[in-house]
Structure 1
Amino acid sequence: MTTQEKAVQAEESQEISTAESVDYAEAQGWDDMATKRLLRRLDWHIIPFMSLIYLLCFLDRTNIGNARLDHLEHDLHLKGIQYNNALAILFPFYIAAELPSNWMLKRFRPSIWLTFIMVCWSAAMIGQGFVKTYSGLLATRTFLGLFEGGLFPGVNYYITLWYCRRECGFRMALFFSAATLAGAFGGILARGIAEMSGVGGLSAWSWIFILEGLASIFVSFAAYWAIYDYPNTASFLRPAEREEVMRRLKADSGHLANNEFSFKYVWQAITDWKIYIHMLICMAGFCPIYSFALFLPTIVKNMGYTANTAQLMTVPPYVCACFFTIGASYIADRVQKRGLFLLGFQLVAILGFALLAGSAKASIQYTGTVFAAIGIYPQIPLGLAWNSGNIGGSLKRGSGIAMQVMGGNCGGIVASYVYLSRDGPRFITGHSILIGFVGMAFFLTLFMTIWCARENSRRETISKPIGVHELTPGQEEQERELADGVPWFRYTV
């Protein structure tokens, strides 16, 4: 039977409305207030710890930008673009680890796999504090990328195992906002740790790596007990709450689930052209984020400030970005219009980098850093929620998220070479490159927004959305085969 024939057969199957799912929940005692209490319970037990470990992960990955101001290049005798090479070497291994790591997360329990990779990257971070040569720095950055690579796609996939599609964006934003907090804390911590220069015969940059690595490994010791694997085994939920979480997930898209591991579901993601568009959008979003995180202390210092002052002045742009990242995703979840929000923030980012490139005044340049931060950071959780919500099937979704983040982190390789020392103090070339990347993301986002809207309109003419409770085994099998290709699936615009 061809794909088209399967779609026609599924289209002719029995339909039920979304209202019936709501009626079913109310019949079991789950009204709006009870559901909100359940969601708050999930939020308090899942999001804070996930955000904490990502804060530490992002801090460990990007604190080399702060360490640079504390004479890392001088002490390790780095010349030319060797510093940029040390930044870039992390990303190929980071990217290579992402998709296999999500498969491992699917095969093993999240509490086991996430704890394992956290212990490993923490050890690499501590080791980075003791390197004495360029080759030693490259080696530790390699291991850091290899073990950190699985966290971001893994946690984004993990969130989809607990929340309905319309609820994931805000939670992903809360999780990703930790990256902005990492930037803010990184500047404050680096300023304080600068006073430890010479303690134990180590430079301040060594202590940045060692102390922040120790913080990560301390948290990793609690991770095994703090990470709850799945809703149906969560000890903090009562039996009725577990049943309701599973019912909500199934009503949302659970009939598209493929819980057994099979490569054919991975292949569904690999052959889905829409995921590749999202990979490019994500790459064009991560490139300015990594450029910003790795080089903002250097950019601010080149505005004419001292190293210690520059460390502290990196904090306000990240604080502003944190508020906008959370607020925008909350509203986008409510209105279910993520593509439109992405377009708006991409324009703000272009304005920010244009101010940086177009003026020699420190005040205007610094204003540009604020606009750039506000514009770039909200794009990632918005884009991830948009893509993950438009993928049917749990294993396909996990693979699709990992592919998207893999594409995004390719931007990290480019970001390592965007700002070269020879282009200082204005770094006009680097700012212009980032304007180009964000501009590419804008046009790709516009294309996907229009396509999703038109595809939804086309599907409305042939099939209404079908609920879950009356699907026959044959219909469920058709959905497993077609995933989001069934005519009753609706894309978020």
Structure 2
Amino acid sequence: MDRKSSEYDEKIEAVRDAASDAAQVSEARISRLRRKVDFFIVPTVSLLYLFCFIDRTNIGNARLAGFEKDLRLKGFDYNMVLSIFYISYILFEIPATIACKWMGPGWFLPASTLGFGIVSVATAFVKTRAQACALRFLLGIFEAGIMPGVAYDLSRWYCRAELAFRLGLYMTMAPLSGAFGGLLATGILKLSSFGSLHRWQMLFGIEGVVTIGISLIAFFTLTDRPQTARWLTEEEKDILLTRVKAERLATTTVLDKLDAPKLLRGISNPITLTTATIFMLNNITVLGISFFLPTIVKAIYPDKTTIQQQLLTVPPYVVGGFFVLLLPSLSWYLDHRQLIIASTGPTALIGYAIFLGTLNPSVRYGAIFLTASTAFTLGPMANAQVSANVNSDTARSIAIGTNVMFGNIGGLVATWTYLPWDAPRYAIGNGLNLACAASWTTIAILGYLWMKRDNRRRDERSAAAHEEIAGLGKKEQQDLEWRHPDWRWKP
């Protein structure tokens, strides 16, 4: 064994000693520290994500309030306005993720939020389809890094088993943004005006101003990582750092520098790619609900007033928010994700089957609750699963970004699932969502079986694999990531 390998082994042993030290800290003290981190970190990122989702999807509420009519949108024009957002979102997803790693989430997330808040206010003044498309393109650029950035930020603070629940806490904002957004839209539309703004213009103007205010506060309240947290003692920082480091194989530092081999390993990780595919299929469903639920409700209850239709969009989101907390809580308790991911598909599948099978208004409205109940939970579960199955900080950042990028490819598809001429049954949109739910369930089950099989294979050839890497230096071993012989998949 050469000198480099010896030094490397000593550092790895030091990490293992640190893990042992972390285990000796009482569970009661860890629980208190975890609650402290929850209090200081989760509320800020949750608010940022709430208004990220509201500013993205309030166009559905604006549509009911005359947006389409005032801009003289016809045919597929509305779908085009929705689609342009996802084109920029997809193009800038990976660059935004790298920028978040480079700048640090504490600066990147508030700056991005400020940007899309300004764009939201500007949308209140559009007069043509071209202007609306241009601003939606800009909105996609600024929002591209928010979801992966928040997930990446939280992965710096929490251990693998704890992360899914914390992701659930902030991603509850996705369904709740639909509920809150519907209530907020109802309240705003009762105003006669907001300055020179009227009707749908007030939605973008008021919600954009609130977003800008929250972003400015976040510049002062959001902390990058434990080492820079002024509200932690030095001992608390050490405990948090050691707990995260103890879970990372062959890693001697938690926040490594940007590194091309690790970026490639994060993107090419089999669980990153399969989970990202699941998230893509799921996002077709989730964003189909988010963008078109007001339209679906209007098709079910065409005789109700606009205000009544807006209010009817709220309860399904509340149910979705409940399950976004329930399933990640179960994941935290079991330290398991893959089969929970698989369990989200059947209820969505049944819901869309009901949509296709009947035009009875009450039954169809009930089916919305089935689809919303579990579909939203894959946001936290998918990001948690990707984070649990990569090793270094660099690989984790790009893996989460890849997962979210795939998800937004699904979002682009979702903008074309509910077409005007397909009302009121919407056979295309509902049929596609039914197929997506069946597909992501199947992929999740197959992924679980593959992880178990590959872990057994790694156990069987462990000795031979260690001989193959014996001559590699420290950096070469770190760059192996999931190809390291000691690596095991975490279902």
TM-score (norm 1): 0.91
Q: For residues 422-451 of structure 1, give each alpha carbon's deviation from its aligned partner in whole angstroms, at most 9, with x where no partner exists.
A: 111221221111111122211211111111
Query: Partner amino acid for 1:354?
Result: A
Contact kept, 8 Å, 2:344 with 2:441, in 1: the verdict is no
Q: Which residue of structure 2 aligns with residue 262 of structure 1?
A: 259
Answer yes or no: is 1:70 the counterpart of 2:65: yes
Contact kept, 8 Å, 2:285 with 2:414, in 1: the verdict is yes
Evaluate the alpha carbon distance shift between residue 267 and residue 71 of structure 1 in structure 2; reply closer, same or farther with a 3 A threshold.
Answer: same
Number of residues of Structure 1 aligned to a counterpart in Structure 2: 478
Answer yes or no: is 1:93 the counterpart of 2:76: no
| Cα offset, 1:270, TM superposition | 3.3
Query: Partner amino acid for 2:388?
Result: G
1:12-411 matches, within 5 Å, as: 23-25=20-22, 27=24, 30-197=25-192, 200-253=195-248, 255-256=250-251, 257=254, 259-304=256-301, 305-411=304-410
2:409 alignment partner, SS class: helix
| Cα offset, 1:280, TM superposition | 1.2
2:190 alignment partner, SS class: helix
Q: For residues 366-395 of structure 1, give each alpha carbon's deviation from its aligned partner in whole angstroms, at most 9, with x where no partner exists.
A: 111001001210122111111110011110
Contact kept, 8 Å, 1:269 with 1:396, in 2: the verdict is yes
| Cα offset, 1:413, TM superposition | 0.8
Evaluate the alpha carbon distance shift between residue 149 and residue 133 of structure 1 in structure 2; reply closer, same or farther with a 3 A threshold.
Answer: same
Contact kept, 8 Å, 1:13 with 1:475, in 2: the verdict is no
2:418 alignment partner, SS class: coil
Matches of 2:171 and 2:249, distance apart in 1: 25
Matches of 1:478 and 1:13, distance apart in 2: 16
Evaluate the alpha carbon distance shift between residue 428 and residue 197 of structure 1 in structure 2; reply closer, same or farther with a 3 A threshold.
Answer: farther
2:51 alignment partner, SS class: helix
Q: For residues 314-355 of structure 1, give each alpha carbon's deviation from its aligned partner in whole angstroms, at most 9, with x where no partner exists.
A: 111111111111111011122122111111111111111112
| Cα offset, 1:199, TM superposition | 5.2
| Cα offset, 1:202, TM superposition | 3.2
TM-score (norm 2): 0.92
| Cα offset, 1:254, TM superposition | 6.5
Matches of 1:23 and 1:207, distance apart in 2: 56
Contact kept, 8 Å, 2:76 with 2:419, in 1: the verdict is yes
Q: Which residue of structure 2 aligns with residue 486 of structure 1?
A: 484
2:300 alignment partner, SS class: coil
Q: For residues 262-284 of structure 1, give each alpha carbon's deviation from its aligned partner in whole angstroms, at most 9, with x where no partner exists.
A: 22221222333432222211100
2:480 alignment partner, SS class: helix
Q: For residues 186-229 of structure 1, give each alpha carbon's deviation from its aligned partner in whole angstroms, at most 9, with x where no partner exists.
A: 11111111122555453310000000000000101111111101
Q: Which residue of structure 2 aligns with residue 420 of structure 1?
A: 419
| Cα offset, 1:23, TM superposition | 4.4
Q: Which residue of structure 2 aligns with residue 469 of structure 1?
A: none
Matches of 2:333 and 2:477, distance apart in 1: 27
The gaps in structure 2 that reach 5 residues or longer are 1-5, 464-469
Q: For residues 33-75 of structure 1, give each alpha carbon's deviation from its aligned partner in whole angstroms, at most 9, with x where no partner exists.
A: 0111111111111111101100000000000001100011111
Q: For residues 386-420 of structure 1, give each alpha carbon's deviation from its aligned partner in whole angstroms, at most 9, with x where no partner exists.
A: 11100111101111110111011001111101001
The RMSD of aligned alpha carbons is 2.7
